[in-house]
Structure 1
Amino acid sequence: MKITKLAAVAAVAIAALTGCGGSTESSDSTSNTAPTPASSTAPAQNIAAPSTNDLMSEPTAAGAKAFLHHAFELKSYAQQTGDIEPLLASLDGAEAAAADAEAIKAIYDDGGWILGGQPKVKQIVITTPAEEVAEGTEVDALIPVNPDAYTSFNEAGEVQETRPFDPAGSMYSATVVYSDGAWKATYLEETPDAELPATE
């Protein structure tokens, strides 16, 4: 009886210790994977790729807007991580956007990183009439954007390029097409001289 009782107590003690060890490990794991923004001394860490939403699967003006918001989120993600594959997957042509993505990748491939510069979309104006938006149709848009202040660093942590915050922002023009159940940008480029259509 005594032996059985001692064994039971030992088993409970071992289980408790194992449980404590497990929770500590889980806590460490959580803290080690918490997202950390970039700084002047280190790149961002553990930044998750932006998720999609159901609206993006619709061949509508609202779907085009949702997709374009996502495309700029993917650019922001690329600037923070150097991972341009999700952004490139959203493009079909769009040479200027692809070239921008490759320039981002080159900084990270050389051991550098980017601080700031994330594009803040102010609004997305679909200039193609809503009734004309359909699968296979080219849909045009104008997108006023305010990028954050931008600094790129090399592997040694030396500043390579800086761009201050411009409260006036800039304008992007885009053409997107819905095909095979998904939107793709065939054109996405900064066009500072483009103007939003006048509202009545």
Structure 2
Amino acid sequence: MKKTMLFAASAAVLALTACGAGTASDQPSEAKPVSATTEAPAQNVRTPETNARMAQDSSEGLAAFTYYYFDAKNYALQTGDASLMRGAAADCSACLADADAIEAVYEAGGWIVGGQPKPLNVIAAGKPDKQGRLSAVVPFMQDASTTVGQDGKIIDSKDWDPDGTTLTVTANYTDGAWQMLSVKETPDAQLPG
């Protein structure tokens, strides 16, 4: 009986050891993203990725690029790193002003909770002009946001607007890539149809 119990205990130890095979350093670890709160900034935010459609000189290419631009802005809002946003909009003064404002919050030791931009659709308005510029109408929503200072105090907050708005974006296609030229709020813009 003792041998049976000893054998069973040994087998259990071996089974448990086998379940934990490999060390933590052997396993790839991808930390889960953590959303910002008024207590702490976001962590482990995934970097937005480009895609092949963005390189197309077409309304679909502009749409893919526009979604990427807003992903880059979302990334900046969560991390304070506006380099992707700047890279996509080097010639857009309003975009660069937004990037400056986001970076200033983080450089001062604060962070932003929420505010994620949500383009609901990107509808090209016409065809590219001779310079390669194309505009699109973008039904748009943005989450409520709170700006938190270094001391943890709330500096600013903006409510969610359930009605959203409409943006008009204009981008330029040159050398195989789109570059944002302007992003303007145009609530009275009509969707092309």
TM-score by length of 2: 0.83
Q: 1:163-200 CA deviation, whole Å, 9 max, x = no partner? A: 111111122221111111110011123x243312364x
**Aligned counterparts, 1:65-80, within 5 A:** 65-80=63-78
Identity %: 32
Look up the equivalent residue of 1:195 and give its one-letter code.
A
Give the equivalent residue in structure 2 for 1:30. Answer: 29
* Structure 2: distance between partners of 1:198 and 1:143: 10
**Aligned counterparts, 1:125-140, within 5 A:** 125-129=123-127, 133=128, 136-140=131-135
Give the equivalent residue in structure 2 for 1:82. Answer: 80
State the shift of 1:26 in Å: 4.9
* Structure 1: distance between partners of 2:25 and 2:90: 44
Look up the equivalent residue of 2:96 and give its one-letter code.
A
* Structure 2: distance between partners of 1:135 and 1:113: 42
Look up the equivalent residue of 2:123 and give its one-letter code.
V
SS at match of 1:43: coil
Tell me if the contact between 2:167 and 2:187 (Cα under 8 Å) persists in the aligned partners.
Answer: no
**Structure 2: where are the runs of 5+ without partners?**
1-16
After TM superposition, the runs of 4+ consecutive aligned structure 1 residues lying more than 3 A away are 133-136
Tell me if the contact between 1:40 and 1:157 (Cα under 8 Å) persists in the aligned partners.
Answer: yes
* Structure 2: distance between partners of 1:109 and 1:198: 41
State the shift of 1:123 in Å: 1.1
1:174 paired residue among 149, 169, 172? 169
Instruction: Confirm whether residue 197 of structure 1 aligns to residue 165 of structure 2.
Output: no
Tell me if the contact between 1:77 and 1:83 (Cα under 8 Å) persists in the aligned partners.
Answer: yes
Give the equivalent residue in structure 2 for 1:147. Answer: 142
Tell me if the contact between 1:40 and 1:115 (Cα under 8 Å) persists in the aligned partners.
Answer: yes
Q: 1:5-30 CA deviation, whole Å, 9 max, x = no partner? A: xxxxxxxxxxx9xx95x523456x72
* Structure 2: distance between partners of 1:63 and 1:109: 34
* Structure 2: distance between partners of 1:140 and 1:115: 30
Higher helix proportion (structure 1 or 2) = 1
Mark the CA change 1:173 to 1:104 in structure 2 (over 3 Å): closer, same or farther. same
Instruction: Confirm whether residue 116 of structure 1 aligns to residue 114 of structure 2.
Output: yes
Q: 1:62-114 CA deviation, whole Å, 9 max, x = no partner? A: 10111001101111111000000010000132111110111000000011001
* Structure 2: distance between partners of 1:143 and 1:186: 15
Tell me if the contact between 1:83 and 1:105 (Cα under 8 Å) persists in the aligned partners.
Answer: yes
State the shift of 1:134 in Å: 7.5
* Structure 2: distance between partners of 1:195 and 1:186: 18
Aligned residues: 177
Look up the equivalent residue of 2:29 and give its one-letter code.
T
Give the equivalent residue in structure 2 for 1:160. Answer: 155
Mark the CA change 1:151 to 1:125 in structure 2 (over 3 Å): closer, same or farther. same
